[in-house]
């Protein structure tokens, strides 16, 4: 169902209404902007092929022609929303900043919710110059929503960044005994080697290669304590092609040679 300017009164570029229950159940799309505030209850919104759960306090903006609908997931009369709709020309902002599938949530006593309710009250009472006040309130609401979305995106980016590092470390744990390069590890998580290196510096305060070397040497410690394998055999099993390099990194990390480490550990057990 395509909604158009018939939803607005003649000579107005905006409208504000309150809906209850299944009043928003029909799938529809439109060219104007729809600002939605979940006043009470819980619901589900579908936008295109994406679905999202809604709860009291959620605010989101739909500024494109995507098909969408809302259904309550609580008692019908408990689900209430306030819609502020307006033509894009009414408010001059960059609408690409708004992500309808990532609603911002505001407490009842927040300034943003107060502005939304003031929009509704002004539209109902229509005192002198109410259009100006509603326009001002919408600007303030959109600013708050855009800031909340920006914070959400930053958190999501940080989490996403950590996911890449975690996946890379898991790959190294599973394949440490093989000959691995930085490029191999980066390819395993679908990143460039330079970008993965930056992520490791940010998240682990070390490089990919340094992390891999430390993990290999830590595995060597276990084998020195738990097996009778020679230092040469252990160095080969943990991915060192040159036993001299293994000796170098082991002593650099622990201050003793592999044989000294094994001897000290056994003396401690006596």
pLDDT at position 2, please? 46
User: Residue 77 has which token pair?
Assistant: 């009369």
Distance of CA 213 to the CA centre of its chain: 31
Residue 268 — very low, low, confident or very high, per pLDDT cuts 50/70/90? low
Asked if residue 203 has pLDDT above 90, the reply is no
Q: At what angle do helices 111-125 and 130-175 cross, to 10 degrees?
A: 150
User: Which range in 65-69, 152-156, 193-197, 246-250 is most confidently predicted, on average pLDDT?
Assistant: 246-250
pLDDT at position 123, please? 96
Share of the chain above pLDDT 70, in %: 91
Angstrom distance (rounded) from CA 125 to CA 20: 20
Distance of CA 1 to the CA centre of its chain: 32
- What stretch of H or E contains 222? helix 208-226
pLDDT at position 100, please? 77
Phi, psi of 174 (to 5 degrees): -80, -25
User: Taking residues 160-172, what's their average pLDDT?
Assistant: 86
Asked if residue 150 has pLDDT above 90, the reply is no
User: Taking residues 42-70, what's their average pLDDT?
Assistant: 86
Residue pLDDT, tens place only, 73-111: 899 889 999 999 999 999 999 888 887 777 888 988 899
pLDDT at position 223, please? 93
pLDDT at position 219, please? 93
Residue 1 — very low, low, confident or very high, per pLDDT cuts 50/70/90? very low
Give the mean pLDDT of the chain.
87
The DSSP bridge partners found for residue 44 are: 53, 71
Of the given ranges (40-49, 154-163, 240-249), which has the lowest mean pLDDT? 154-163
User: Taking residues 12-21, what's their average pLDDT?
Assistant: 91
Phi, psi of 232 (to 5 degrees): -60, -45
In sequence order, which residues have a C-beta less than 8 Å from that of residue 246 and are 6 or more positions away? 217, 220, 231, 234, 235, 238, 240, 258
pLDDT at position 141, please? 96
User: Taking residues 120-136, what's their average pLDDT?
Assistant: 96
* Domain annotation for the chain: domains and CATH numbers: 2-154 (2.60.120.280), 210-269 (1.10.10.60)
Angstrom distance (rounded) from CA 164 to CA 189: 7
Residue 37 and residue 60 in contact, taking contact as beta carbons nearer than 8 Å: no
């Amino acid at each position: 169902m395509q909604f158009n300017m018939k939803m607005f009164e003649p000579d107005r570029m905006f409208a504000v209404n309150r809906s209850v229950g299944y009043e928003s159940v029909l799938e529809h799309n439109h060219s104007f902007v729809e600002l939605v505030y979940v006043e009470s209850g819980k619901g589900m919104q579908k936008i295109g092929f994406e679905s999202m759960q809604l709860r009291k306090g959620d605010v989101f903006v739909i500024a494109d022609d995507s098909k969408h609908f809302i259904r309550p997931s609580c008692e019908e009369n408990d689900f209430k929303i306030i819609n502020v709709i307006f033509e894009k020309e009414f408010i001059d902002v960059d609408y690409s900043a708004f992500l309808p599938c990532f609603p911002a949530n505001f407490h009842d006593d927040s300034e943003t919710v107060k502005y939304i309710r003031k929009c509704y009250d002004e539209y109902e009472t229509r005192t002198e110059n109410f259009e100006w006040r509603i326009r001002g309130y919408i600007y303030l609401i959109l600013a708050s929503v855009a800031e909340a979305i920006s914070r959400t995106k930053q958190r999501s980016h940080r989490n996403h960044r950590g996911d890449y590092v975690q996946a890379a470390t898991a790959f190294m744990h599973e394949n440490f005994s093989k000959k691995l390069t930085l490029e191999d590890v980066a390819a395993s998580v679908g990143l460039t080697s330079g970008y993965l290196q930056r992520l490791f510096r940010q998240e682990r305060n070390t490089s990919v290669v340094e992390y891999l070397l430390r993990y290999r040497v830590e595995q060597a410690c276990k084998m020195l304590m738990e097996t009778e394998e020679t230092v040469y055999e252990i160095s080969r099993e943990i991915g060192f092609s040159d036993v001299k390099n293994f000796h170098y990194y082991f002593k650099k990390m622990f201050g003793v040679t592999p044989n000294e480490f094994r001897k000290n550990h056994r003396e401690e057990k006596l």
